[in-house]
Amino acid sequence: MGLIGNKTNARAAPETIPETAGEALAIPAIQVENLTVEFNGSLALDDVSFEAGPGTLVSVVGPNGSGKSTLMRALVGLVPPTSGSIRINGLSPMKARGQIAYVPQREHVNWRFPIAAYDVVMQGRTRSIGLFKLPGRTDREIVQQSLERVHMQDRASALVHELSGGQRQRVFVARGLAQEASIILLDEAMSGVDATSQETLFQVFGELRDEGKTIAVATHDLAELADRYDTCLCLNCRMCGYGPVESTLTPAVLEQMYGASPSHIHHHVPAAGEEDHGHDH
């Protein structure tokens, strides 16, 4: 019990009496109910419902085109729900803007733009600084601390297009830290990210989760899912499963996501004999 409390006291909180930050803890960081998203008549997400956090590290898994990115974009208000509802810290996605830090897919970033890592992290302070104003000392301190947390302080003056894929992701996560967002979403975060950067990122994600932040990561990588994330959300347009990684990512759920012969990924599955389908959300 001590172990669980140490790691995820916030997750256990809804059952217990909230303490000092009680109000914040009582409201789910992300609350999605019967979310359906259609593009030109074709379903991208079909009746997805789940709650997460605060204080959770969620992986969003599924094949290409399974709606992972659509879900991420709906959570930040970039894609309107066709039906269903989304609450972010109890607010609509548009009202919650600024409370979520979002790391977009890399093809949506203009890498040609000549900007230093430090200045990207400072972008996280844009709203706090305010229109027509320059960063103050506090902003610079927060940026410096954010860079240090992802071990990028030595590359602060490098232009982002000079950085490796993993270093770029670390800079974007640092921007989320500088934003002091309570929720961080990473869309396709780990593709092309080197092992060192992955270690750094997961260490930071773990720390953030322990601070009560909610992190959701869209990923293709089913290896080590159970070691790295608290919960997984399995998508294939519909929600195939949601819950703790080990009990959710069963052969049956994998088959729903990846089709009839998921043999090529079977060896990543923890406890392959389990029968719990994890549909209870």
Min dist. Cβ of residue 87 to other proteins (A): 16
Min dist. Cβ of residue 113 to other proteins (A): 4
CA 8 to chain CA centroid, Å, is 16
Nearer CB in complex with other proteins: 79/249: 79
Min dist. Cβ of residue 100 to other proteins (A): 6
Nearer CB in complex with other proteins: 61/103: 103
Distance separating alpha carbons of residues 11 and 25, to the nearest angstrom: 9
Q: Site residues (CB under 8 A) for other proteins?
A: 76-78, 97-98, 100-104, 108-116, 119-120, 122-124, 126-127, 129, 131-132, 159, 161, 172, 175, 179
Min dist. Cβ of residue 78 to other proteins (A): 7
Nearer CB in complex with other proteins: 112/137: 112
Nearer CB in complex with other proteins: 78/223: 78
